[in-house]
């Protein structure tokens, strides 16, 4: 009864989830049927490593702290092999901190409630350098607060070290120790898991990128003179340039270009609208056709097709495609998109939330059908479309530089 009274107290206004439900222990309700309600983070955390699992097990619930059962023993041994003490060097918690009934996974609402009650406060108070995410629920539960499309397919996420500038730490997802123990007939699973843990421990000494205002790095070119001058500068400099188009649809034969952006520096991009200016068309065509300036894009087949159809340039000097680079470096499916790559590599949170619905075709069965970008511009203004386009070019240039370094190539 005492445990119930603790959470039945009237509380100040609670944050609410996407469905309007309050994010609180009362709303979640799991605390009512466990021995250790709302289990608190445990461990000294001297090394700055936070370990997050899915939910307490039976032994954890009975003893009031995480990793007290067989899964904890597996984890403890692996960390010890990497020179880390689970009790001394780590602080441990779960995405849901009351034991779940049966063996089911936590629901999104339960995760959201515990994020507000336990997980976010623990990150804010403990300031971890690295957060080790164990299993799909832990990964999607934590990643989902940063990248809304994060799913629980741990095979997609494991092995990455995602920087989170706002938190000043790295997120390192890998398998749950319970899964590793169950896969004892497949020793490669344990080998991969132990490698992931060692890589996570190694990130303790790596600085995290600083928070950046990417919009401030996009210069909007509003006149023909400004477009001509900027393109002349990048052509004189001669180093590779990333560029990106936004259009009214996917088909270059029937749709129109709306705007373009380009970046030659990791801290500066330029964006402009395509209007009925012959001067701008000529300046852009000359830029595309200039063999002295290598071109970069993410999925260059799109930009190449549109450059050919709309500007008559069929010999763009391409030097790198960051989508192909992502696939070469890691051929797992579903990880080559630009926004996901920028998040996983640089910690850049999605910047397309506002515009994304308007970039979808009104009829996905017809590749010639238009999207709704003009509706977006009418509602939010040209600048919002240009900032989005500019950050695409800025991100592609940064990604190309990183990928080519990994491949031991030079831009």
Nearest CA to 155 out of 177, 169, 136 is that of 136
pLDDT of 375 reads 98
Q: Which of 132, 359, 103, 204 is nearest to 351 (CA)?
A: 359
φ/ψ of residue 98, rounded to 5:
-125, 145
* Percentage of the chain modeled with pLDDT above 90: 90
Going 69 to 70 to 71 to 74, the CA torsion angle's sign is positive
CATH number 3.40.470.10 given to 13-205: yes
Domain covering 214-406, topology: Nucleotidyltransferase; domain 5 (3.30.420)
- The CATH 3.30.420.10 domain(s) of the chain lie at 214-406
pLDDT of residue 6: 31
Per-residue pLDDT, 10 = 34
pLDDT at 19 (0 to 100) = 62
pLDDT mean across residues, the chain: 93
Strands 318-321 and 295-297: parallel
Average pLDDT over residues 366-394: 97
257-270 per-position pLDDT tens digit: 999 999 999 999 99
Q: What is the pLDDT of residue 325?
A: 97
- At what angle are helices 338-346 and 322-329 packed, to 10 degrees? 60
> 24 near 113, Cβ under 8 Å?
yes
Once rounded to an integer, what is the mean pLDDT over residues 245-266?
97
* CB-based contact 93:118 (threshold 8 Å): yes
Residue 159 has pLDDT above 70, yes or no: yes
pLDDT at 83: 97
pLDDT-based confidence at residue 383 (cuts at 50, 70, 90): very high
Q: CB-based contacts of 291: which residues, under 8 Å, 6+ apart?
A: 317
Q: Is the pLDDT of residue 98 over 90?
A: yes
Q: How confident is the model at residue 408 (pLDDT cuts 50, 70, 90)?
A: confident
Q: Measure the CA dihedral 189/191/196/202, to 10°.
A: 170
Residue extent(s) of CATH 3.40.470.10 domains in the chain: 13-205
Q: What length is written for the chain?
A: 411
What distance in Å separates the CA atoms of residue 186 and residue 174, rounded to the nearest whole number?
Answer: 16
Handedness of CA 26, 27, 33, 34 (dihedral sign): negative
Would you state the pLDDT for residue 18? 58
Q: What is the dihedral of CA 340, 314, 264, 275, to 10 degrees?
A: -90
Give per-residue pLDDT as tens, 337-379. Answer: 999 999 999 999 999 999 999 999 999 889 899 999 999 999 9
Among the listed residues 158, 105, 155, 111, the one whose alpha carbon sits nearest the alpha carbon of residue 133: 158
- Residues 307-329 have a mean pLDDT of 97
Torsion 249-250-252-258 (CA) sign: positive
Specify the pLDDT at position 374. Answer: 97
Strands 169-174 and 130-134: parallel
Q: What is the pLDDT of residues 223-244, one digit of tens each?
A: 999 999 999 999 999 999 999 9
Do 264 and 234 form a contact (C-beta atoms < 8 A)?
yes
Q: Determine the average pLDDT of the residues in 36-62.
A: 97
Quote the pLDDT of residue 103: 83
Q: How many DSSP H helices and E strands does the chain contain?
A: 18, 11
């Amino acid at each position: 009864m005492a445990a119930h009274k603790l959470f039945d107290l009237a509380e100040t206004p609670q944050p609410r989830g996407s469905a309007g439900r309050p994010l609180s222990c009362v709303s979640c309700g799991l605390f009512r049927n466990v021995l250790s309600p709302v289990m608190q983070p445990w461990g000294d955390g001297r090394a700055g490593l936070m370990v997050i699992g899915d939910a307490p097990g039976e032994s954890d619930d009975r003893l009031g702290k995480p990793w007290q059962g067989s899964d904890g023993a597996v984890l403890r041994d692996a960390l010890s092999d990497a020179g880390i003490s689970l009790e001394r060097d780590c602080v441990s918690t779960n995405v849901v901190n009351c034991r779940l009934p049966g063996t089911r996974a936590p629901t999104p609402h339960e995760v959201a409630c515990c994020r507000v009650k336990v997980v976010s406060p623990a990150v804010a108070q403990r300031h971890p350098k690295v957060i080790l995410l164990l299993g799909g629920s832990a990964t999607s539960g934590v990643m989902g607060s940063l990248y809304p499309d994060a799913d629980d397919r741990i095979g997609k996420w494991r092995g990455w070290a995602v920087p989170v500038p706002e938190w000043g730490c790295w997120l390192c997802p890998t398998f749950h120790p319970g899964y590793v123990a169950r896969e004892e007939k497949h020793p490669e699973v344990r080998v991969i898991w132990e490698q992931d843990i060692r890589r996570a421990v190694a990130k303790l000494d790596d600085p995290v990128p600083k928070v950046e205002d990417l919009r401030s790095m996009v210069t909007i070119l509003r006149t023909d003179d400004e477009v001509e001058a900027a393109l002349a500068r990048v052509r004189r400099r001669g180093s590779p340039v990333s560029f990106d188009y936004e259009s009214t649809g996917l088909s270059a034969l029937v749709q129109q270009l709306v705007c373009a952006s380009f970046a030659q520096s990791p801290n500066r991009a330029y964006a402009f609208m395509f209007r009925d200016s012959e001067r701008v068309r000529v300046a852009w065509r000359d830029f595309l056709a200039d063999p002295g300036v290598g071109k970069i894009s993410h999925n260059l087949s799109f930009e190449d097709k549109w450059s050919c159809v709309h500007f008559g340039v069929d010999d763009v000097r391409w030097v790198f495609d960051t989508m192909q680079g992502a696939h070469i470096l890691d051929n797992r499916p579903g990880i080559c998109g630009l926004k996901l790559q920028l998040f996983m590599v640089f910690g850049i949170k999605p910047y397309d939330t506002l515009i994304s619905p308007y970039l979808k075709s009104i009829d996905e069965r017809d590749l010639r059908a238009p999207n709704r970008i003009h509706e977006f511009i009418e509602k939010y203004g040209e600048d919002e479309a240009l900032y989005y386009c500019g950050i695409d070019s800025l991100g592609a240039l940064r990604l190309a530089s990183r990928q080519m370094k990994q491949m031991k190539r030079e831009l």
